[in-house]
Amino acid sequence: MSIAKNIEKLQKNIENLPERNGKVSIIAVTKMVDIAKAKQVIDAGLNILGENRVQEFLNKYEKLNNYASFHLIGHLQTNKIKYLIGKCQLIHSVDSVKLLQEIEKQCVKKQCEQQILIQVNISNEESKFGISEKDLISIINTNESNEWVKIKGLMTIAPFEENSEDIRWVFRRLNELYIDIKGKTFYNTDMEFLSMGMSNDYQIAIEEGANMIRIGSKIFT
Ligand SMILES: *Cc1c(COP(=O)(O)O)cnc(C)c1O
């Protein structure tokens, strides 16, 4: 199947699902995909590309930033942040106060705002990145004193399960936290995006409230 066909099929599937937190945006995850294929994604109508490594992000950005916006979805080290500011529309994977404060510091240098999501480790798997639920409000509080970093929502990666129904609770829980925070007032935080769901579990994620999904293999196979 072609990339364009895969995208069309994905969009049709999504149309048939209930949208609980508004319209669903698809982030096309182009990690390990070449520039030509990434361009085909854009030509097929998706204009947000997600990358998980900073170097690959920069390569794609250089070639394609006239045609698409870029999101960083993978785990980040503080020493790489400086390369992203001003180029990355949304960072999905902020999972520590240390990372948050480094982003603010680099934003101050560039006098440039940065939108981020907080990655939450709902399932508490040791292998997964993400802040634990109990530290979520505290990182949001810390960001109230910042000037340039804007928290726009939450992100999670569900653990792999043979039966994808077994992860429904993870998405449900993140949506509860999202709605709870949305109902409160925090300076510099505005819950707009709930980023959850990948190729194997996006349907469940949307049923549980995702309005941003990150899709790689379903597009490229
Ligand atoms: C690779 C990746 C995805 C996409 O995964 P697929 O299963 O290929 O759709 C989504 N989110 C993150 C954080 C990723 O690293």
78-131 per-position pLDDT tens digit: 999 999 999 999 999 999 999 999 999 999 999 999 999 999 999 887 767 999
Is the alpha carbon torsion for 155, 161, 162, 165 positive or negative? negative
Ligand 1 centroid to Cα of residue 214, in Å, is 6
Contacts of 160 by beta carbon, 8 Å cutoff, 6+ apart: 200
Which neighbouring-strand residues pair with 155? 119, 195
Pairing, β 25-29 against β 189-195: unpaired
Coil vs helix vs strand at 71: strand
Query: How confident is the model at residue 95, as a pLDDT?
Result: 97
- Backbone φ and ψ of 30, nearest 5°: -105, 15
Coil vs helix vs strand at 40: helix
Cβ–ligand 1 contact at 31 (below 6 Å): yes
Instruction: Domain of residue 88: give its range.
Output: 3-220
Across the range 28-51, mean pLDDT stands at 97
Query: How confident is the model at residue 164, as a pLDDT?
Result: 83
With a cut of 90, say whether residue 1 has pLDDT above it.
no
With a cut of 80, say whether residue 56 has pLDDT above it.
yes
Q: Which of 48-52, 60-64, 91-95, 127-131 has the lowest mean pLDDT?
A: 127-131
Ligand 1 centroid to Cα of residue 187, in Å, is 30
Across the range 175-185, mean pLDDT stands at 98
pTM equals: 0.97
Query: How confident is the model at residue 163, as a pLDDT?
Result: 87
Instruction: Answer for the pair 53, 74: CB distance below 8 angstroms, yes or no.
Output: yes
With a cut of 80, say whether residue 178 has pLDDT above it.
yes
Cβ–ligand 1 contact at 74 (below 6 Å): yes
Query: How confident is the model at residue 37, as a pLDDT?
Result: 97
Q: Which two tokens stand for residue 87?
A: 């180029």
Coil vs helix vs strand at 97: helix
Instruction: Answer for the pair 155, 201: CB distance below 8 angstroms, yes or no.
Output: no
Coil vs helix vs strand at 92: strand
Residue 212 sits in a domain whose CATH number is: 3.20.20.10
With a cut of 90, say whether residue 162 has pLDDT above it.
no
CA-based end-to-end distance of the chain: 7
pLDDT band at 138 (very low <50, low <70, confident <90, very high): very high
Query: How confident is the model at residue 123, as a pLDDT?
Result: 86
Which helix (H) or strand (E) segment is 153 a member of? strand 149-155
Across the range 166-173, mean pLDDT stands at 95
The domain tally of the chain equals: 1
Cβ–ligand 1 contact at 157 (below 6 Å): yes
Across the range 128-152, mean pLDDT stands at 96
Cβ–ligand 1 contact at 216 (below 6 Å): yes
Contacts of 15 by beta carbon, 8 Å cutoff, 6+ apart: none
| DSSP state for residue 130 in the 8-state scheme | S
